[in-house]
Amino acid sequence: MNIFRLAGDMTHLASVLVLLLKIHTIKSCAGISLKTQELYAIVFAARYLDIFTDYISFYNTVMKLIFLGSSFSIVWYIKHHKIVRRSYDKDQDTFRHYFLLLPCLLLALVINEKFTFMEVIWTFSLYLEAVAILPQLVLLQRTRNIDNLTGQYVFLLGGYRALYILNWIYRYFTEPHYVHWITWISGLVQTLLYADFFYYYFQSWKNNMKLQLPA
């Protein structure tokens, strides 16, 4: 554990809390992509299978349970809550997200650090997380009218991954033999997908304007 890893975890947690705050207090999921939330639920389900077999620390277990529970509860709220589901923009959220699953799985079967079930599933979760934000970004470009909580949620998600890159750089220079190319490249791809959003987010903040993405 280091300051970059802790900051990344807290930023990731903050993104989930912001989204839950929007859903629970405003009773709205406007601007939120169900497709992205379903992909994240699959990511966490695949990545945290080891919660039943490996104990690392109390902190690690609690964080895993939080992300598992929150991701599935968010999906449930958007699909089934009698008030929240009315604000879901199904007509705009049309990215065919399931088409991302098979390529990520095939890539995990071909490129992995060790060909075992748990390792392949974990690698699959890395590849899928790298592209899981795509439906959300596409939805924001289509709607263009982005409320503050939705903008903060996406910004915090991107910030979490950027902080994890700093964590990897720190560990590379402080820990012997710390090399994880698959994790690094997946994380870099994921962060690059946020680049356009970050630009317009900071522009809107600097000019005190409402956040809008170009169509």
The answer as to whether 214 is a domain residue is: no
Query: Residue 165: what pLDDT?
Result: 94
The answer as to whether 215 is a domain residue is: no
**Arithmetic mean of pLDDT, 148-175:** 93
49 contacts: CB under 8 Å, gap ≥ 6: 118, 121, 122
- In which domain, by residue range, is 132 found? 3-206
Q: Is the pLDDT of residue 141 over 70?
A: yes
Query: Residue 117: what pLDDT?
Result: 94
Q: Is the pLDDT of residue 114 over 70?
A: yes
Confidence class for position 147, pLDDT limits 50, 70, 90:
confident
Q: What is the pTM of this model?
A: 0.92
Mean pLDDT across the chain, nearest whole number? 92
Confidence class for position 54, pLDDT limits 50, 70, 90:
confident
Q: Is the pLDDT of residue 15 over 90?
A: yes
Output 7-11 pairs: Cβ under 8 A, ≥24 positions apart. Answer: 7/163, 8/160, 8/161, 8/163, 8/164, 8/166, 8/167, 9/63, 9/160, 11/156, 11/159, 11/160, 11/163
Tokens of 192: 């690059």
Query: Residue 78: what pLDDT?
Result: 96
Q: Is the pLDDT of residue 145 over 70?
A: no
- Alpha carbons 92 and 142: distance in angstroms, whole number: 7
Cα four-point dihedral sign 88, 90, 92, 97: positive
Confidence class for position 70, pLDDT limits 50, 70, 90:
very high
Tally of domains in the chain: 1
User: In terms of pLDDT, which residue wins out, 115 or 207?
Assistant: 115
Tens digits of residue pLDDT in 169-187: 999 999 988 989 999 999 9
In percent, the amount of the chain with pLDDT more than 70 equals 99
User: In terms of pLDDT, which residue wins out, 212 or 110?
Assistant: 110
Cα 179 to chain center, whole Å?
23
The answer as to whether 19 is a domain residue is: yes
